[in-house]
Chains A and B, each alone.
Chain A
Amino acid sequence: MRPLTHSMPKVMLRVANRPILEYGIKALAKSGIRDIVMVVGYRRDQIMSYFEDGKKWGVRIRYVVEEKQMGTAHALYQAKDVVSDEFIVYPGDNILGEDSVSRFVKETKGSRGNAVLVVESSVPSKYGVVIARDEKVVGIEKKVEPGVGMIINTGVYHMDKDIFPEIERNMREGKYAIKDVLLDMARRNRYFRAVLAQGRWVDAVYPWDLIRANADVLEKFTGGKIGGVVSASARIDGPVIIGEGSVIRENCRITGPVVIGSGCEIGPGVVISPSTSIGDNVKIEPFVVIENSLIMEDATIGPFSRIQHSVVGRGVRFDGNLTTMVGDTYVEVEEKGGKTFVEAKRVGCVIGEDTNIGSNVVLLPGTIVGVGCEIVPVKRLSGRIEDGSNVL
């Protein structure tokens, strides 16, 4: 997810102007769960200051700190003394799947033994593809390419306190992932039950997943309050939210579903097309076209820019005339084994936070610009630009 996670935990990345984790908390609350223990580590202050004690969502949240991120089982182990006898493990970085979660919780409630929520999908999950026999999970395989009809592991589990001695065993052998514990137990005939749920499941693994997730969330969007000041000659169609104190100047055309935050300054003559989310305090100068993109808070988009299928990080500044090209491409990503190339279809670009890009720059499809870069005017860029680069 780099560079977007440079100073933010992935779960706090915004989709439709809400942190990914908020969708998870809402899904859990909807399935009747009231008591939530969050194991936090990287940049936990951002999570804690947003969610506080959980009251706003009708739940109680307690925090347990995992000082060093070693793996999912290790993280779970930190909550050993705080959880009740029976609990749900939820990874926090997926969006949608609300109904699947509810059904899983309902079905596993009160049951003995461990279970895992699996979903049929054509998109791979970082938790692997599940091999099951008679509803028992006998294997988990890693798969990177998309395929049809895969049963994927969502990383959502139902467990009881007996899991902790099992985790201890595995950690002693240097294995820190829940997946390892599951396979180890399966070898000793203590299988996890696979519970198949229907419905959408979106795992945000790569930056462009955010664009898809954003579009999916906004699909169900019915619009809402239009705050701020909207010029009489501006046209707003479809479901659109505009936050407090935002200004939409003359001749703008905004076609929903679109979410715009508070304190924004947009226009004149700006076109915003679905499904776009714009954060707080964003300035969009005249004659900019934005389509199916996420513009994070505090960004400034200079005039005559064209942003499509892209993610623009917090505080980014485009002087003007920036074009993000869209196309199919292969993007270099870092996996645990090393660098590899992943196919990305119909993607634009990703710009890391606080980067400044001079005027008249063109970004080829799949360009990923890191955090805090400075790019001089009139350049054509592609591939990955490392954090802090000065492109001259």
Chain B
Amino acid sequence: MCGIIGYIGHRPARDVLLGGLKRLEYRGYDSAGVAVAENGELVVVKNRGTVDALKKKMPLLKGTLGVGHTRWATHGMPSESNAHPHVDCHEKIAVVHNGIIDNYREIKDSLEKKGHFFRSETDTEVIPHLVEEHIAETGGTSLFEALKAATGELRGSYAIVAMRLGERRLVGARLDSPLILAVGDNEYFLASDVPAVLEHTDRVVYLQNGDIVEITDHGYRIEDSEGKDVTDERPLQIVDLSIEDAEKGGYPHFMLKEIFEQPHTIHSSLLGYPINGSPDPIFSGYYDSIKIVACGTSYHAGLVGKYILESLAKVPVTVEMASEYRYSPHPFGRPLVILVTQSGETADTVAAAREARLRGRKTVAITNVVGSSITREVDHTIYTRAGIEIGVAATKTFTAQVLAFYLLGIQVGLNRRTINPDESREVRDHLRTLPRVVQRILDRASEIEKKSDFFSTAKDVFFIGRGINYPVALEGALKMKEISYIHAEGYPAGELKHGPLALITEETPVVALVSPDRTHDKILGNIGEVSARGAPVLAIADEDDREIEKYVDEVIYIPHVHPLYSPIPNAVVLQLLAYYTARDRGCEIDKPRNLAKSVTVE
């Protein structure tokens, strides 16, 4: 998903463009760039990194005509040379583009034969050169006609905004990728998204597929794909959505939307290591153990990962908090180090990656953001492909990270020959059932909503689990803490009696994760311990567990899964419990107090 923006008016384009890009930035970024017409010259500034970083790099330009672009890569490496805007041979035409040009290679070859020289590897760059070629061939036609001709040769999807020195106008074209036109007071905007312009105007024209639009200081003109003037047929609409409503798609909070996206993100994550692919060579070679390094929710995913890797791949695993990793008094052995960070920018984890490299370790990152800082510090990256997560409390990225560990378990196991291809297919078949399992839990969200009354007056909540569900209990407590501000702690169920039991009273609800495996009877015992002290107990249990309701006050059932795969459905229940509890308390949810989405300080 990229964001593009163009501006023509009476204000410095630099500020309008940077502001608009910042609005689009939350959708993700790996690079950004801006081009402004300044004193007869085209000034292009590009940067790999955030819009703020670009802003620092940009001189204080006064030009009032320009285009900008922010990139969230889904394929391929981000770099300054590949960032937009792209220009033609003579640096007189600048273009920003969102989409994919399928036939760019043929176009590039033919233009190179005609003498054009290219600066990047992108498909976008063919566009300014095509425009340049059309202008040259026709002896100086307008930018509008030239872009129109150029788009005739393009196959693929695009939203394009182009500018040319010497012409006081911007021209845009749309096919499949979104592009809107916004009308201000003697100023006009083109953008991929309404939020980019909402702070300047609420008057918007939605362009249709095949449209070519031109904006000048005095107005705009739209032609359809057949060359007909359709300016009057594209109605000017008043947008009354606040910026955020437009993106939440009807959900009251991004976090809820992201929780409900999980069946879909699990589908995407399953494509991470294709079936039938040969074992990834990154996991061959010698390592005597695996060390997982992470912070926060990613750390909890790592703890679940430990159980998964030890079960599936039979390799010893240790898990460390990234902020502590560098203080290891005496690093030893030859571990493969796996660093987990959703944003890829978490300072502690990035520093740990550097430390691992200094120690000579082979490193792998699990992250959700293509081209993020962590990817430059490791030997290999696995992307969780969950899409952008806007809610500060991690939900879909947690389950995606856990899923990555299952897929990793198969890879490592195949490489070390601790599982055979048949067993790996069995694991896949179990994973395949997870989207439905999660969907069935989400379908009963209103039942879970009612159970959140359990916590309405609580000041302390305890989450307990055994085995693979112990880290899930930790994560449940973290979610509760983060968004409802209720103090919550997670413990291995067997640990309570070694101290924390002193805190248990009738006022402290306990959430128990009950799995139908060899931990089952033991955890019933632990539940007995706390209910004997008067604590209300809510159990999350397998739907086939007929006994559990006799021992607890409330039960939330999850569809039957093999216990090894229960962390993901259990986590979804815990996410919903935390969400509804926070909502009932009127908490901020998407932006909890004191927290930032990506912790870039150490």
Contacts and interface: CB of A to CB of B under 8 A. Distances in A.
Contact of A354 (B246, B249, B429, B436): B436
Contacts of B318: none
Interface string B367-382: 0000000000000000
A262 B271 contact: yes
A167 B276 CA distance: 59
Contact of A63 (B206, B208, B247, B250): B250
A216 B178 CA distance: 29
Nearest to B230: A32
A251 to B, nearest CB: 15
Given A59-B206, A281-B432, A354-B440, A34 B250 contact: no
Interface string A63-84: 1000000000000000000000
B251 A298 contact: no
A63 B271 CA distance: 32
A270 to B, nearest CB: 15
Interface string B425-444: 00011001101100110110
B257 A58 contact: no
A44 B446 CA distance: 13
A55 B250 CA distance: 14
A10 interface: no
B178 A48 contact: no
A379 to B, nearest CB: 22
Nearest to A243: B271
Interface residues of B, number: 37
B597 interface: no
Nearest to A82: B240
Interface string B216-241: 00000000000000000101010101
A229 B206 contact: no
Interface in A33-66: 34-35, 40, 44-45, 47-49, 51-53, 55-56, 58-60, 62-63
Contact of A263 (B247, B270, B443): B270
A146 B275 CA distance: 48
A300 B432 contact: yes
B314 interface: no
Interface residues of A, number: 40
A229 B251 contact: no
Contacts of B499: none
Nearest to A262: B271
Contact of B274 (A44, A228, A298): A228
Given A49-B257, A262-B267, A283-B432, A56 B249 contact: no
A42 B271 CA distance: 31
Contact of A315 (B208, B260, B436): B436
A247 B436 contact: no
B261 interface: yes
A265 B178 CA distance: 33
Contacts of A249: 276
A3 B246 CA distance: 33
A280 B260 contact: no
A265 to B, nearest CB: 5
A383 interface: no
B201 interface: no
B233 A32 contact: yes
Interface string B258-282: 0011001001001100111000000
Contacts of A244: 271
A55 B193 CA distance: 8
A354 B433 CA distance: 10
B249 A298 contact: no
A255 B376 CA distance: 45
Contacts of A40: 250
Contact of A49 (B208, B235, B261, B443): B261
A122 interface: no
A11 to B, nearest CB: 15
B376 to A, nearest CB: 27
B120 interface: no
Interface string A311-322: 000110000000
Interface string B184-203: 00000000010000000000
Contacts of B241: 53, 62
A298 B178 contact: no
Contact of B178 (A56, A228, A281, A354): A56
A245 interface: yes
Contacts of A300: 429, 432
A98 interface: no
B432 A55 contact: no
B424 interface: no
Given A40-B250, A265-B428, A281-B432, 20 more contacts: A34-B206, A47-B250, A48-B249, A48-B251, A52-B249, A53-B247, A53-B249, A55-B193, A59-B206, A60-B206, A60-B239, A62-B241, A245-B270, A245-B274, A262-B267, A262-B271, A281-B267, A281-B435, A297-B435, A300-B429
Interface of B: 178, 193, 206-209, 233, 235, 237, 239, 241, 246-247, 249-251, 257, 260-261, 264, 267, 270-271, 274-276, 428-429, 432-433, 435-436, 439-440, 442-443, 559
Q: What 4 pairs between A and B have smallest CB-CB spacing? A: A48-B250, A52-B249, A315-B436, A245-B271
